[in-house]
């Protein structure tokens, strides 16, 4: 009888523990904020029906997808929950590039400072040659530093060059050391967090509807040990409609509602090609400061893991954004990672862009 009670107690304890873990893992990392500074996006003339028919999925997507198109800063097409907060993955890097432009304009950051001058190092100590890399090199993904980093995946690991194989400023390789170190340097040089700086200098002027400083946090959101590094990965959660504001601002050379949010000079400098590449997906062929470029369509791209994109066409004042929900809690992110669902409507988005430029 006693052993039976012990077994019942153990089973009850395990059940309670599982319930607590499920509740905790279901709690969203970021809630949908309603900031005081938010402003509504304006609606323009809807896109033609034949273009809309291309964008509407023939079958229900296997995960939550949101798509929005702005023309001259006005909504001309919208599909799905464009107000839903999502992890923007590597699009965080292009957002930080814009914040660098604002910080440079304020005199807070000098792009030609070296890692040695900035006293930037790593758990695996950097060599004297690696410390010659500048902030500008990191923005171009040309640091020449090939070390493990938080949040890296796939080709960032398998294709990583041998350490010391390239000098700084000479070879493009998309890696998370450069991206994460840029986050460390930004906070060090500005004396503020990425979230605080972004809220004050980007979200407020743009009137973002779903963003506050709490949408940005540092560190890997998982129970298991992350890669040990002095440079934590920073996560940014944004809605699709707020990403579209950013794209429309870039399409207008840094302006939003006649106000210069990001210096025009920085928009030009940061979207200039510094490396010519052959993208395996044939999406783009050039790299700027954490942006990608397609010379064929004359578009500027941001690309995030999980099939999320910003496509900016400055010549036609078009911004096309797709986001796919990849989780906002331990549980939902874990379920997505388990399924590896890369469902995407990018091909149709590209076709819609082409049709919009033919009218």
The number of helices, as runs of H, and strands, as runs of E, in the chain is: 13, 13
Note whether residue 65 is domain-resident.
yes
Give the span between the Cα atoms of 343 and 272, in whole angstroms.
31
Query: Can you give the pLDDT at residue 222?
Result: 52
Note whether residue 5 is domain-resident.
no
Query: Can you give the pLDDT at residue 307?
Result: 87
Note whether residue 36 is domain-resident.
no
CB 130 within 8 A of CB 207: no
Buried b (16+ CB within 10 A) or exposed e, 268-305: ebbbeebbeeeeeeebbbbbbbbbbbbeebebbbbbbe
DSSP single-letter state for residue 202: I
Note whether residue 38 is domain-resident.
no
Give the span between the Cα atoms of 49 and 47, in whole angstroms.
6
Query: Can you give the pLDDT at residue 3?
Result: 75
Note whether residue 16 is domain-resident.
no
Residue 30, CB-side half-sphere exposure with 13 Å CA sphere: 27
Residue 165 neighbours by CB distance under 10 Å? 11
Q: What is the pLDDT along the chain (359 residues), one digit of tens a residue?
A: 567 777 776 777 777 777 776 776 777 888 889 999 999 999 999 999 999 999 988 777 777 899 999 999 999 999 999 999 999 999 999 999 999 999 999 999 999 999 999 999 999 999 999 999 999 999 999 999 999 999 888 788 888 999 999 999 999 999 999 999 999 999 999 999 999 999 999 999 999 999 999 999 887 655 454 678 999 999 999 999 999 999 999 999 999 999 999 999 999 999 999 999 987 778 999 999 999 999 999 999 999 988 899 999 999 999 999 999 888 887 787 777 777 667 778 999 999 999 999 96
Domain extent at residue 106 = 49-356
Q: What value, to the nearest 5°, has the Cα angle with vertex 225 and ends 220 and 226?
A: 45
Give the span between the Cα atoms of 335 and 258, in whole angstroms.
43
Note whether residue 136 is domain-resident.
yes
CATH assignment of the domain containing 71:
3.40.710.10
Q: What value, to the nearest 5°, has the Cα angle with vertex 311 and ends 306 and 314?
A: 165
Note whether residue 34 is domain-resident.
no
Query: Can you give the pLDDT at residue 76?
Result: 98
Q: Where are the beta strands (DSSP E) in 59-106?
A: 65-71, 74-79, 86-87
Cross-strand partners of 322: 67, 309
Tokens (6 digits) for 206: 């743009």
Note whether residue 96 is domain-resident.
yes
Cross-strand partners of 209: none
Count of structural domains within the chain: 1
Tokens (6 digits) for 19: 């319930």
Query: Can you give the pLDDT at residue 32?
Result: 86
DSSP single-letter state for residue 114: B
């Amino acid at each position: 009888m006693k052993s039976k009670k012990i077994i019942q107690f153990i089973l009850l304890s395990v059940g309670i523990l599982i319930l607590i873990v499920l509740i905790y893992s279901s709690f969203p990392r970021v809630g949908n904020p309603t900031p005081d500074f938010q402003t509504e996006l304006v609606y323009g003339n809807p896109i033609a029906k034949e273009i809309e028919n291309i964008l509407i999925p023939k079958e229900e997507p296997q995960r939550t997808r949101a798509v929005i198109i702005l023309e001259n800063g006005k909504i001309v097409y919208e599909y799905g929950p464009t107000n839903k907060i999502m992890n923007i993955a590597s699009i965080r890097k292009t957002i930080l590039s814009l914040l660098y432009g604002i910080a440079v304009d304020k005199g807070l950051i000098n792009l030609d400072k070296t890692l040695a001058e900035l006293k930037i190092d790593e758990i695996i100590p950097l060599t004297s040659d690696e410390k010659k890399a500048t902030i500008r090199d990191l923005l171009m993904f040309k640091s020449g530093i090939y070390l493990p980093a938080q949040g890296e995946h796939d080709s960032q690991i398998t294709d990583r060059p041998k350490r010391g194989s390239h000098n700084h400023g000479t070879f493009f390789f998309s890696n998370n050391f450069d991206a994460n170190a840029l986050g460390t340097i930004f906070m060090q040089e500005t004396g503020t967090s990425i979230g605080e700086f972004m809220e004050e200098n980007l979200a407020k002027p743009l009137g973002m509807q779903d963003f506050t400083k709490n949408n940005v946090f540092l560190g890997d959101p998982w129970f298991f040990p992350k890669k040990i590094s002095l440079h934590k990965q920073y996560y940014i959660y944004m809605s699709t409609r707020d990403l579209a504001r950013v794209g429309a601002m870039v399409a207008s050379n840094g302006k939003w509602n006649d106000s210069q949010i990001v210096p025009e000079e920085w928009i030009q400098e940061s979207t200039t090609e510094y490396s010519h590449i052959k993208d395996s997906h044939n999406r783009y062929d050039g790299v700027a400061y954490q942006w990608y470029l397609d010379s064929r369509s004359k578009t500027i791209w941001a690309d995030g893991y999980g099939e999320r994109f910003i496509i900016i066409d400055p010549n036609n004042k078009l911004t096309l954004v797709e986001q796919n929900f990849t989780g906002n809690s331990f549980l939902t992110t874990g379920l997505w990672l388990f399924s590896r669902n890369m469902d995407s409507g990018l091909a149709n988005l590209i076709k819609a862009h082409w049709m919009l430029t033919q009218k």
